[in-house]
Amino acid sequence: MKRLRLDRWTGQLLVARPGASPVSTSLAAFRPASAPRCAAVRHQSTAATPFTEDSIPDDHDGTDHTRFPPLEKLPPRSTSLPSPLPERALQSPKLAALHARLSLSQKLPLQTLARALVDASADKNPQFNNSNLAFVGMTLINYHVAEWLMCRFPRLPMEVLYSAMKAYAGPTALHQVARSWGIEYAAAPGGEVDPGLLQFSLKERGDAMTTFGYKRAEAEYLDKYKFRHGISSRVVLDDDFGETVHNRLSNEALAARPDTEYGNELTRSLAEMAFATCARAIVGAIYAHCGRETVKDFVNAHVLSRTLDISKLFSFRKPTTELSLLCAREDFEPPVARLLSETGRLSRTPVFVVGIYSGNDKLGEAAGSTLEQARYKAATNALKSWYLYSPGEHVRVPSDMLSEGAKPWEPVYMDIGEIIAR
């Protein structure tokens, strides 16, 4: 069987087809018909550039170029473009450094990396911004995180699973990941900006679709009357993190909030979203050029390797009731709380150690300053130890089967579900 030629599938990422997009055709007309996929770079070229300075009068912004010569020779009309030209990516030291820092393969060209740094709010043309790459990247990151969480912690309740997904693959986490890669941002987007800088606009949101999910019919009432929406409807209707799709605070509402140390809430949320989209787009670009295995290793190394204490994500309203329901469901003996040890009952700081037993088996144990509190904490610990069951640290995930020569699949442990459906 012949190998799939992944590199042939991604040609459209680099080739801009003139007139293919109805939006901003006037801008697209200035673009080159097809950017060279592997242009030969001549560093330290002594040849004069074909464009003289007299030929760029129409985007003159009033700067006296004889007094303030430009730091870099820019192609003509570049200041009128929304984002830098793809061929300038080959000259950017920032981009080359980022490529080397992430140890990306040589198969991933700098032009694609530059495109991953252009947010939809900077350049509306989907042929030049990162929205398509980001969508691919988002699905890949979410898939790998979800399958790993499900195989590693098969008994997680849906709510905790959603918050764990968000803690690994949500915008805040990916923003931190992108920052840790050393991605810097441009003050304002434009064609003259260094292509190695992340470009996004603080004035408006990009209208790129970056999530799955449906707009609920009762969307208005959810905010207005705080409609209850159960976990089952979230699975079907909402996005990968169990959040309603429409539930984005409007720009005015965010801008009206008080300023923090670094900008107001609106600018902060826009920057966070832009960084997260960029991280997703880089993952999408790796998939497009290097394939499935490389992207899986990349997600493992940069997203799943982060530490998350899942036991902190739980909150139980009635742990004792839930525990007795669990014991009834699993045919255990009903749970009994027993006082294991105590000290200073009549003092200011008493400590009671309570264990929860089902027959002769101790399910959980906790220390508290009152008997009631210790019992609640012990029940919570017992429930956590049930829900956080893990078959092992190195579980096999379904995507392991996609590699060549994989061992036959052994079914992973599947749980029958949570105790109290919410």
Q: How many of the other CB atoms lie within 10 Å of CB of 200?
A: 28
**Which residue, 43 or 407, is less far from other proteins as judged by CB?**
43
Q: Residue 310 Cβ, how far from other proteins at the closest point, in Å?
A: 13
96 binds other proteins, rule: CB under 8 A: yes
385 binds other proteins, rule: CB under 8 A: no
179 binds other proteins, rule: CB under 8 A: yes
Q: Residue 340 Cβ, how far from other proteins at the closest point, in Å?
A: 7
249 binds other proteins, rule: CB under 8 A: no
268 binds other proteins, rule: CB under 8 A: no
Identified binder of other proteins from the candidate list 97, 253, 256, 402, rule CB under 8 A:
97
Give the dihedral of Cα atoms 356, 358, 362, 363; nearest 10 deg: -70
Q: Residue 419 Cβ, how far from other proteins at the closest point, in Å?
A: 26
Q: Residue 211 Cβ, how far from other proteins at the closest point, in Å?
A: 28
180 binds other proteins, rule: CB under 8 A: yes
Q: Residue 47 Cβ, how far from other proteins at the closest point, in Å?
A: 22
**Which residue, 243 or 342, is less far from other proteins as judged by CB?**
342
**Which residue, 6 or 367, is less far from other proteins as judged by CB?**
367
**Which residue, 181 or 332, is less far from other proteins as judged by CB?**
181
Q: Residue 259 Cβ, how far from other proteins at the closest point, in Å?
A: 20
- The residues in 307-346 that bind other proteins, with binding defined as CB under 8 A, are 307, 340-341, 343
Quick one: angle between helices 371-387 and 319-329, nearest 10? 50
- Contact region for other proteins (CB under 8 A) — 55-63, 94-102, 119-127, 258-266? 94-102
- Contact region for other proteins (CB under 8 A) — 93-101, 125-133, 197-205, 267-275? 93-101
48 binds other proteins, rule: CB under 8 A: no
371 binds other proteins, rule: CB under 8 A: no
63 binds other proteins, rule: CB under 8 A: no
93 binds other proteins, rule: CB under 8 A: yes
The pair of three-digit structure tokens given for residue 18, joined into one six-digit string: 């003139």
41 binds other proteins, rule: CB under 8 A: no
107 binds other proteins, rule: CB under 8 A: no
Q: Residue 100 Cβ, how far from other proteins at the closest point, in Å?
A: 4
Give the interface with other proteins as residue ranges (CB under 8 A). 93-94, 96-97, 99-101, 179-182, 307, 340-341, 343, 351, 353, 367
